[in-house]
Structure 1
Amino acid sequence: MAPIHPDRPALVARLRAAGCVYAEDEAELLIAAADTAEALTDLVDRRVAGLPLEHLLGWAEFCGLRVAVEPGVFVPRGRTALLVAAAASVAGPAPAVLDLCCGSGAAALVLHGRLAPRWLAAADIDPVAVACARRNLAPFGVPVYQGDLFAPVPPEWRGRLDLVVANAPYVPSGAVALMPAEARLHESSVALDGGADGLAVLRRVAAGAAEWLAPGGHLAVEVSVTQSGALCAVLAGAGLVPTVVHDDDLDATAITARRPA
Structure 2
Amino acid sequence: MPPRPAAPTEVIDRLRAAGCVFAEDEARLLMAAAGTPAELEHLLTRRTSGLPLEQVLGWVEFCGLRITVRPGVFVPRRRTGLLVRRAARLGRPGSVAVDMCCGTGAVGAALLSAEPGLLLYAVDIDPAATACARENLEPLGGRVLTGDLFSPLPRTLRGQVDLIVANAPYVPTDAISRMPPEARLHEAHVALDGGADGLDVQRRLVAAAPEWLAPGGHLLIETSAGQAAQTVETFARQGLAPRVVRSKALDATVVIGTA
TM range (shorter): over 0.9
TM-aligned CA distance change 1:6 to 1:114, over 3 Å: closer
Identify the residue that residue 225 of structure 1 maps to in structure 2. Answer: 225
Give unmatched runs, 5+ long, in structure 1.
none
- Maintained 8 Å contact 1:95/1:115: no
Q: Secondary structure at the match of 1:71?
A: coil
Matched, 1:193 2:174: no
Which blocks of at least 5 consecutive residues in structure 2 are unaligned? Answer: none
Residue 139 of structure 1 corresponds to 139
SS of equivalent residue, structure 2 residue 78: coil
Q: Distance in 2 between matches of 1:253 and 1:122?
A: 22
216-225 vs 85-94, greater mean Cα deviation: 85-94
Residues 140-183 of structure 1: per-residue CA shift (max 9 Å, x gap)? 22110100000000010111100000110000001011100000
Letter in 1 for 2:157: W
- Pair 1:112-2:112 in alignment: yes
> SS of the residue aligned with 2:142?
coil
Distance 2:135 2:7 in 1: 35
1:50-90 deviation digits (Å, cap 9, x = unpaired): 01001110101100100001000000000000011111123
* Distance in 1 separating the partners of 2:106 and 2:24: 26
Change (3 A) 1:7 1:58: closer
2:80 maps to 1:80: yes
Q: 1:93 deviation in Å?
A: 5.0
- The Cα shift of 1:118 comes to 4.0
AA aligned to 1:164 is I
Partner of 1:49: 49
Q: Which amino acid aligns with 1:180?
A: P
Corresponding residue of 1:154: 154
CA contact (8 A) 1:94 1:116 kept: no
Change in CA separation of 1:218 and 1:13 when aligned onto 2, cut-off 3 Å: same
Letter in 2 for 1:103: G
Higher mean C-alpha deviation, range 87-96 or range 33-42? 87-96
The residue type paired with residue 120 of structure 1 is L
Partner amino acid, structure 2, of 1:177: S
Post-superposition offset of 1:7: 6.7
1:18 equivalent in structure 2: 18
Query: For residues 133 and 33 of structure 1, what CA distance do their matches in structure 2 show?
Result: 22
Q: Note the aligned Cα RMSD (angstroms).
A: 1.4
Please report how far the alpha carbon of residue 116 of structure 1 lies from its aligned counterpart in structure 2 after TM superposition: 3.0
Distance 1:58 1:7, change over 3 A: closer
Q: Which residue of 1 aligns with 2:183?
A: 183
**Cα distance in 2 between the residues matched to 1:131 and 1:140:** 15
Aligned to 1:65: 65
- TM-score, normalisation: structure 2: 0.95
Tell which deviates more after alignment, 9-18 or 217-226: 9-18
Give 1:6 deviation, angstroms: 9.8
Q: Distance in 2 between matches of 1:147 and 1:67?
A: 22
2-structure distance, mates of 1:147, 1:122: 10
Q: Distance in 2 between matches of 1:211 and 1:131?
A: 27
Cα separation, partners in 2 of 1:204 and 1:7, compared to 1, 3 Å: closer
Q: 1:7 to 1:229 in 2, by over 3 A?
A: closer
Deviations 1:213-255 (A, max 9, x none): 0010000110000000011000000110111111111111111
SS state at 2:152 partner? coil
